[in-house]
Amino acid sequence: EFQRLCPKSRNFLVLSELRQLQSVEDMPIDFGHMGTLWVLDSDRNGRVTLEELLQFATLYAQLRANFRDYDFPFQIQAHCSLRMFDEVSVEGTDRWVMWFTLLFSESHLVKTFPEYPGVAFLARDAAHMVHEVLQVDEHYGYDVQRFFDLVQRTGEEMGIMSIEDERLDEMVPRVALEKFAEAYIEGFLKLMQDELYFQPQQPVERPGLKTKTYVDSTQRRRSSSSQLPKPET
């Protein structure tokens, strides 16, 4: 399945391709779930290699033994959401925002214009994907066109684009999506701590591993933590 979707010119999948992955029948995985994507993309570069996919499959198999079949898809999302909460709480939100930006921009060509120095623009499709994956319509009541208009207005209010410029009719500034990402992750952390009463766990050193890992979150999981919140506005 990886080989089917991955172009021969590279060795990784981007988000638009990941969302086309067909899970094995007895291993249903939602590749549009932010916590799942965070755990899957272990080096946080917005790209998923075959090695990362196999590592996630190993984690999936290990966790599968702990839960009943009928609620496991729900529980794997809960596990990934809690992992994301732990890691972002300890490491800070800047890295998450950078990862979010990479994740949603890898699939799209970045354009620049001399009239807007230092500003990177993405095609409309990037905003559409953010809208779809984060279920903006459901959480905010913004359909895809209203969301696109909102991102463009944010860019204009920041003084980094002009809506009157016809070249930008189908473009959004990447930094405006970063602002949305900041609000989203801050809302997620607030929900987990202030409403669900989770406390982040610190990473621990484990013999034989090159990187720090996090204490198994299955002991702290609540069913409600599988649902990612809408950001504060």
What integer is the mean pLDDT of 95-114?
Answer: 93
∠ CA 87-39-138, rounded to 5°: 95
What integer is the mean pLDDT of 113-123?
Answer: 96
For residue 54, count other CB atoms closer than 10 A to its CB. 10
- Report pLDDT for 206: 44
pLDDT category at 130 given cuts 50, 70, 90 is very high
- Report pLDDT for 107: 81
3-state SS assignment for residue 180: helix
Q: Which of 57-61, 122-126, 146-150 has the lowest mean pLDDT?
A: 57-61
Nearest to 178 by CA among 90, 96, 86: 96
What integer is the mean pLDDT of 185-203?
Answer: 90
pTM for this predicted structure: 0.83
- Report pLDDT for 222: 46
For residue 140, count other CB atoms closer than 10 A to its CB. 16
Sign of CA dihedral 192, 128, 123, 152: negative
Residues 6+ apart with CB under 8 A from 103: 15, 37, 41, 46
**pLDDT, the chain, mean:** 85
Calpha distance 86→215 (Å, rounded): 9
